[in-house]
Chains A and B, each alone.
Chain A
Amino acid sequence: MSELPDQPEQAPDVPEESQAKSGLSRRVVLRIGAVGATAAAIGVGRAMAMPNMRQRGLANPDGFIDAASISLTDSVFTEVFTTSPLILNPFNDALPVLKAERPIPISELDPPPGPGVGQQNSLGNETHQLWSSDIGFPDPLFYRFKWEVATHDWTSSQVMPIDKNGKPTQSFDAQGNTIPAGTVRTLPSSVVWTHNGTVPGPMINAEYGQPNLVRFENHIHENPQNLDSQDFGAPDGSVLIHLHNGHTAPESDGNPHYASIAGPKNRGWPPGTFVDQLYLNFPAGFDDREKVSFWWYHDHTKDHTSSNVYKGLFGVYPFYDPTNNRDNGDETTGLRLPGVRTDNGDGSFDVEFDIPLAFYDTRLEDGVTLHNDFHDPEFPLAKNPRTHPEWWGQLFFRHFPDHGFVGDIFTVNGKAFPTLEVKRRKYRFRFLDASISRIYDFQLMTSTGGPKSAASLGYGGDELQGQYRIQDGQQCMQLMEIATDGGLLPTPQLRNNFELWPAKRREFIVDFTKFQDGSPTIKGDEIFLTNVMKMTTGRMWDSSLRFSPDPNYKIPMLKFVIGDDAPDNSVMPVPGQTILRDLPPVPDNVDDLMDNRLIFEVQRGSAGGELEWLINGEPFDPFTILNSLKNPAGNTPPATPQMNSFNIWEIRNGGGGWVHPIHLHMEEHRTLMRNGKSILPNNPDPGHPDDISMEDLAATDPSESVIIYRGFRNFTGPYVVHCHNLMHEDHAMMFAWSIVP
């Protein structure tokens, strides 16, 4: 083939024997070294990475790539948030205990609400599908909720501005002038969007059989104090309120599918408009077994839900069941759950010892963090990207990157580190996670040393989240779980701790007369409701009791101080003995329905930022009903269930190291299977013990799937399913479905 000898003419100068001998030795060393280095790299990599990958659902072929994608994402999308100033005197503010909003006479609403054509909103283009008289119910109680700009204080404590290392740093006044590091400051009030001026919004204590009609009026544009609404919140001031998880007609549901194609035909209700949302307060299918116990309302404006909720547009809606006085807020009757009811004479009522707790994490402006967001063009006055020292101490928010938003100050009912003096008796607490992305894991703890600031303990960066820790905290009480987002449990569960995912509700009875070891409490004892789940980004937890707990991460959020004795006629229900509810049955032919189920897979995508979240590969399109993925029967049916039908849906988390709380509007569901395993009749996944009851939100760990059974009753029209990590929802992780006649 070649005339050219492939060897040089010169022979090697080194004796061949010697070269071979020494070369062999060197080569063997090299080979052993290479094999050893590879084996060591694989071994160390497996030991270090695999536990974390398993926890994040990445221990599979796709996860092998996804893990690298996540790391690259961290490098590409710089997740820079502010460091809130340190609250210097925690647990000095009283917990705001919400009082029931009082209804108003219909005469105060002009024009008056009613069942007439075009009477449902200010645009005159919608009519209530059902009016209370259509179902033999009494007239509604009427409420007026004004969406308006107001101010809110998260704490009365003074603060020390700190940097990301926890060291004192400079702050700024309202003109943007620098104030030297180490100066103790009083926080300015944050500008918020509110219902009737409060965060959380007014509480409605609802009762089955008594409809409520809320007239939501948009006054955001009025802003009489000329407050600066900063650079987040729907830029046109639109608001859309969803009663979560109201069994309501679409026109009263407040979802962006409906709002886009009917009613406002907009992302929400723009300033100057109003809408009457009628909550008929009957259980789905008029089936008593479908009754719930705790709803809440929150903004659902298309693309701006997270920022509007974060700006303050949420409130609670506890539910009571007067049937046979079963759960009517009176602890002397029915199930005898804690509560002393006081009727206000106008249809509203308050219930003492029955306290909703809305958890919400926030960040405050530090004046040095760059504001740089996809939505900057919608806020031209902010002139972003730039820093905003003039907003120092007020709410800080950014959509980008849209993994999720977690705050570093944890609040309860709108206050950071509040205190509640409790009587020595039993209480019912209704927990709500109103956060954008944060998941909590709660325990009741005592601490000898008391809370210490994370900064003083030497923590920095993301470890500062929560601001205070009780590192010597020990669990001191258990909680008796009685209800989830789908209402009462069939029978209570005694819990040492419990997770609370975004939008989830869970209800507990806590007996403040004794500790879990049986010793009695005494006046002045302090008990901390403590979050033990570390979640430094919006993706998922870094550590939790379920996976690799961090024993030093104990964030006290609410301090209970034991007070005086008080009469207590409530009865602690007994797990396995007390029947709190009957569940609606799963039909015998459920296996026949299984093959033709509708399958929806939530996924992470990317469009360089904004459209990062998809379902079945599609971003949210309010004008197109989503089809199922191909099911075992080979079909891809559209999400158009018939009214009064039941169906099986499967929700798959596409993985990639993300958790997704998936919310299905309009009716609660029963979980049939999780990860391919049946949980019926009473065999829930240990990580999701509530699966045995009704829920409106399917909590999915990475790569998990749940198969649920639910109905579509009483109403027709457009609804949505979406991720309740609101940042995901705003970025297209939502789909349109519709009930057809």
Chain B
Amino acid sequence: MTDGVVASDRAPPRRTYPPDHGSESTMASRTFTDRMRGFFDPRPARWRTVVIIGIVLAYADGYLLVALTGAVGAIERTNHPFGAWLEESAVLVPLIILAELLVLKLVRRRSGPVLRSWRGTVVAGLLIAMAASVTGFLAITASTGYDYSLQTKLIVFEENIDNVNGVPLVPAGSTVARGNCNSMICNEERFSLATDVRGVAISAPILVVGNIVLVGLLLAYFGGRLGAPERRRTEPVPSTEKV
């Protein structure tokens, strides 16, 4: 049994901590600045850890986002994917850090500002990975939605060229398999939507697995902990939260 397990087994019960995000009245009594300070308190992690994880996960998720755009996204957005990756991932960095902070806040509420067990660290890491995955997934979904809007415009443009001489490609009232979709525009839009949705669906497990692996690797780089080394934690560290 590792010392971590021992520490975990002996971790103080949750009730020993003051309710740092307690009742409505407590919340109401805190100033906005205090609440912001509380929110941006990275404990039980360190800012350095939070930022590094945020950057790595943002660029990993951004990679998938841009790759997916290249695979099924709108034509207008598929040029120069490397530059797009750098730019769009940069936008993701603060979003992922915010997601991390939310997770850390939750962890802090449940386990206190210090994680003494490896299980707690693993759980916190998994939660961070999941939160980043949700953020990445939302970003991919938004990106795909934008792609779809661009794609539909292009489809209409192309069909207008085809029909410019007044010859409809599909006779009115044609019986077709896909419900009442009896035009090329409608059909292509449905194909486009189905493809986009399939792309988003495929990206979800890739995001989750990728983020878990990366967080695991980063935690290993950090020596298996989110916070500061033990000797630093033994020194008093001012809290940003009021109770």
Contacts and interface: CB of A to CB of B under 8 A. Distances in A.
Contacts of B78: 69, 603-606
Contacts, number: 247
Given A4-B20, A380-B175, A607-B151, A18 B3 contact: yes
14 contacts: A8-B114, A23-B223, A23-B230, A31-B221, A69-B67, A72-B67, A377-B178, A380-B174, A384-B177, A400-B191, A605-B76, A606-B71, A607-B155, A607-B192
B90 interface: no
B230 A610 contact: no
Interface in A695-710: none
A589 B154 CA distance: 42
B192 A608 contact: yes
A69 B70 contact: yes
Interface string A267-285: 1000000000000000000
B75 A377 contact: no
Contact of A62 (B80, B174, B220): B80
Contacts of B243: 3-4
B67 A68 contact: yes
A332 to B, nearest CB: 54
Contacts of B84: 65
A267 B238 CA distance: 75
A605 B75 CA distance: 4
Given A619-B158, A621-B161, A65 B81 contact: yes
A55 B239 CA distance: 56
Contacts of A18: 3
B112 interface: yes
A265 B165 contact: yes
Nearest to B38: A2
Contact of A303 (B162, B165, B182, B196): B162
B164 to A, nearest CB: 7
Contact of B114 (A6, A65, A66, A376): A6
A73 B81 contact: no
B75 A8 contact: no
A623 to B, nearest CB: 7
Given A7-B234, A608-B151, 9 more contacts: A2-B241, A8-B17, A10-B10, A27-B224, A30-B221, A377-B174, A378-B169, A384-B177, A607-B155
Contact of A66 (B81, B162, B169, B176): B81
Q: Which residue among A33, A77, A606 has the maximum number of chain B CB atoms within 10 Å of its CB? A: A606
Interface string A361-380: 00000000000001111101
A614 to B, nearest CB: 6
Contact of A5 (B157, B178, B236): B236
Contact of A374 (B187, B202, B242): B187
B181 interface: yes
B224 A26 contact: yes
Q: Which residue among B68, B75, B79, B183 has the maximum number of chain A CB atoms within 10 Å of its CB? A: B75
A13 interface: yes
B73 to A, nearest CB: 6
A70 interface: yes
B6 A72 contact: no
B153 to A, nearest CB: 9
Contacts of B49: none
Interface string B84-123: 1100000000000000000000000000111010000000
B206 to A, nearest CB: 9
B97 to A, nearest CB: 21
Contact of B81 (A10, A19, A69): A69
A611 interface: yes
Contact of A14 (B3, B37, B175, B196): B3
Given A22-B2, A611-B154, A13 B7 contact: yes
Pairs of residues from A and B, 8 with the lowest C-beta to C-beta distance, nearest first: A2-B239, A608-B192, A605-B75, A69-B70, A27-B223, A34-B220, A68-B67, A65-B81
B187 A77 contact: no
B3 A1 contact: no
Given A6-B113, A7-B234, A377-B182, A614 B75 contact: yes
A159 to B, nearest CB: 30
B72 A73 contact: yes
B174 A65 contact: no
Contact of A611 (B72, B75, B148, B178): B75
Given A605-B78, A619-B154, A13 B6 contact: yes
Given A30-B223, A617-B75, A65 B7 contact: no
A632 B54 CA distance: 41
B175 A606 contact: no
Nearest to A21: B3
B10 A31 contact: no
A71 B67 CA distance: 9
Given A19-B3, A69-B67, A266-B165, A3 B242 contact: yes
Contacts of B193: 608
A606 B7 contact: no
B243 to A, nearest CB: 6
A619 B158 CA distance: 8
Interface in B1-34: 2-4, 6-7, 10, 12, 16-18, 20
A551 interface: no
Contact of A608 (B169, B191, B236): B191
A73 B203 CA distance: 12
Contacts of A607: 74-75, 151, 154-155, 188, 192
A72 B75 contact: no
A718 interface: no
Contact of B70 (A38, A66, A236, A375): A66
A75 B82 contact: no
Interface of A: 1-10, 12-14, 16, 18-20, 22-23, 26-28, 30-31, 33-35, 37-38, 61-62, 64-66, 68-73, 75-77, 235-236, 260, 265-267, 302-303, 374-378, 380, 383-386, 400, 603-611, 614, 617, 619, 621-623, 654, 656, 732
B132 interface: no
A9 B116 CA distance: 13
Nearest to B67: A68
Contacts of B63: 65, 68
A662 B184 CA distance: 28
Contacts of B184: 374-375, 377-378
Interface in B168-218: 169-170, 174-178, 181-184, 186-188, 191-196, 198-199, 202-203, 217-218
Interface string B224-243: 11000011011011111111
Nearest to A605: B75
A266 B167 CA distance: 8
Nearest to B228: A6
B158 A610 contact: yes
Contacts of A77: 72, 195
A623 B78 CA distance: 25
B129 interface: no
B66 interface: yes
Given A8-B12, A14-B7, A611 B195 contact: no
B240 A2 contact: yes
Nearest to B203: A72
A623 B164 contact: yes
A303 B6 CA distance: 70
A10 B3 contact: no
Nearest to A75: B202
B67 A377 contact: no
Contacts of A611: 75, 154-155, 158
Nearest to B176: A377
B180 to A, nearest CB: 11
B154 A609 contact: no
Contact of B72 (A38, A72, A623): A72
B231 to A, nearest CB: 8
A374 B192 CA distance: 10
B124 interface: no
A23 B233 CA distance: 14
Nearest to A13: B10
A654 B80 CA distance: 10
